[in-house]
A and B are shown apart, each in its own frame.
Chain A
């Protein structure tokens, strides 16, 4: 075994050695620098797990409690590390349990390579035990998928899988490997990473004409406005982006997936866009004269009503994916390309400027928002606890250095609005799909992706109960994640809509929870539940200082609403403060 392994990692010349498809797969993962695999075994993937038995030293496999947990962990890992997340699942139910995570990764452009076992090739289409047509089920939710039925295909297919997952606009790839291909032995001649597929253009060619036109528009603008999204982070263009913003002097706002690309308290960061974003960025969207959208896709949660969205503005859209240009908002100057390359080119052509009056408008709106919403949310003098004050105390203790993973609902909006982020890749949330149950497993992966950083998962009482089985993964793998449950005893976000738009008709949003602290204890995780204002800071401190995972439940007021809010079907400028 020892000798064989050496030969494998050192493939020279045309020498070949005979290995199984499963071993070829694991060699490919090692060659691609895989640090951790989140997986769950089963019949159709057993040959791979058997091979993994001999690779324990080289590949760290984390046994999750549900394949959905596995894929969300892979996503969390990819989001904080910038690398490709790797996930294993068996055929049939194992594979179908990946679908939510694939859809989530697809819409949030998260690079993943998922390996599913499949029944023997000769059984395909026979309704064999645990056979599902996983390729067709996952086609709409993968950037690419492929079924391997012959072991000799494995090295090349894996190299393509990794290349496709991480290049261009990243996304999830699924490789389905029939059991016979996992077992089959073949002459292996080493692994060659892929860097070109003739039918695949990860990056559009950059056209200087566009850059020049964009610069001309920016240089003449009186009220320019930058909107940035996750593209800046995915393109590892944070520095280039900061240089652009600082030279241009343009007020800049973020989508929730873009949060943290420049620090929260950067003087030109004017806040969050969208339905629960800040007041100024939403209202002034309909006042700017030139809008510069960078690595964002004009999701309807960001734009509100489209026919009343920034109609007065000339729009410059920088995106690596040409299909995003004009998809939702008609572009004046489309700057196709990787923003790591287009931004410096644009920065070189723009004038150094400041817009004090225009920036002041944002700050004036901030003031209104602080008075109408933020003060009560972050610094309530009396009454029950608010979600915002918990996040505010957390900021004071972490100084913005922690990774904040959020689930979906009111707590997500509150955490994204108020969490202080000093660093990029600090905000992990399910943006496009809004997947409840995302946070706990994603936090596990996030910790593997950034082991030296503190990871705090902010979760609602509803969402926690969707994937709480992953407490088992935390227990068994000794992972240090801080779990902060903001318990309002409601499916809060849905309740908010029912209150505001369905005349308080609370239809099935009242949710009971178990004793979360006792539950954590059952998993040997320390926990605490609080409901007093005076305990917030000390309890958060205890959680953060505790060695290992910790669950802190904060009982918050039941019927608080997240404001501001752009009601569905309304224009961004019709944003409500209450």
Chain B
């Protein structure tokens, strides 16, 4: 279980020829989108503590969402970066090291279900005149949130490409304003955090808390 936690062993180490995915070897690794999920205490200043882990390394945060989780007093961050796995693993470990951080997971897009919400403000008269616009909106899963004489606000939820596509569609019709939320993501292969939190509350937590990326993967560390 928990193949989605901070981790993934350097796969090649068991095959005899260490690929040294670390520091130097890591530079050739391809960058891709990773979503980092962080469970934290609700603490003033923690956002800054987490943000500077990225800024110190001059890494751009593509998207950041923070909100209360399903558990009272526990917050959940979703942070999206475009980086190599090696870098993301190191970032995740630095985040997990912070006193008020309970747990960090990082995942590629394959491991998660995610959505972003977008709002589009367009002139009402154009929508009213051109029936085709409304059809386009509905085809793109948008719904009207507010309809006023002067403007209408549509909302849609989806992946980046989907919300982007609608911008392109609405641009010729006088799109006035656009805003998109940060990504929120659910990890496919997770049991949530309730049970884990109870483990954390114990003075001597078990293996669940001190997960170990190498051993939990069930992989041998080396062959000689």
Contact = CB atoms under 8 A, between A and B. Distances in A.
Contacts of B25: 330
Contact of A220 (B207, B209, B224): B224
A201 B205 contact: yes
Contacts of A334: 214, 221
A326 interface: yes
Given A204-B210, A327-B90, A217 B222 contact: yes
Interface in B20-49: 20-25, 40-41, 44-45, 48-49
Contact of B22 (A195, A314, A330, A333): A330
Interface string B84-102: 0000011001101101111
A209 B99 contact: no
Contacts of A333: 221-222
Nearest to B48: A139
A327 B86 CA distance: 9
Contact of A314 (B89, B94, B99, B222): B222
Interface in B183-224: 197, 200-201, 203, 205-207, 209-210, 212, 214-215, 221-222, 224
A333 B221 CA distance: 6
A323 B97 contact: yes
A200 B215 contact: no
Given A199-B101, A328-B23, A330-B25, A207 B90 contact: no
A537 interface: no
Nearest to A307: B24
B159 to A, nearest CB: 32
Contact of A323 (B13, B41, B96): B96
Contacts of A220: 224
Interface string B1-29: 00000000010010000101111110000
For chain A, what secondary structure do more than half of its interface residues adopt (helix, strand, loop), or is it mixed? Answer: mixed
15 contacts: A136-B45, A198-B200, A200-B99, A201-B205, A205-B207, A205-B210, A210-B221, A217-B224, A220-B224, A306-B24, A323-B93, A326-B89, A327-B93, A330-B22, A332-B18
3 tightest Cβ-Cβ pairs between the two chains A and B: A205-B210, A330-B22, A323-B93
Contacts of B207: 205
Nearest to A305: B24
A140 B52 contact: yes
A358 interface: no
Given A213-B222, A333-B222, 18 more contacts: A146-B45, A164-B99, A196-B203, A197-B99, A200-B100, A204-B210, A204-B212, A205-B205, A205-B209, A207-B212, A210-B221, A216-B224, A217-B222, A306-B24, A314-B222, A321-B97, A326-B22, A332-B18
Interface residues of A, number: 42
Interface of A: 135-136, 139-140, 143-147, 164, 195-201, 204-205, 207, 209-210, 213, 216-217, 220, 306-307, 311, 314, 321-323, 326-330, 332-334, 336
B170 to A, nearest CB: 40
B56 interface: yes
A86 to B, nearest CB: 19
Interface of B: 10, 13, 18, 20-25, 40-41, 44-45, 48-49, 52, 56, 89-90, 93-94, 96-97, 99-102, 197, 200-201, 203, 205-207, 209-210, 212, 214-215, 221-222, 224
Nearest to A198: B200
Contact of A199 (B24, B93, B102, B210): B102
A200 B46 CA distance: 14
A332 B99 CA distance: 28
Contacts of A197: 99
A577 B41 CA distance: 53
A306 B25 CA distance: 10
Contacts of B201: 198
Contacts of A210: 215, 221
B21 A330 contact: yes
Contacts of A136: 45, 48
Contacts of A336: 212
Contacts of A196: 203
B49 to A, nearest CB: 6
A518 to B, nearest CB: 45
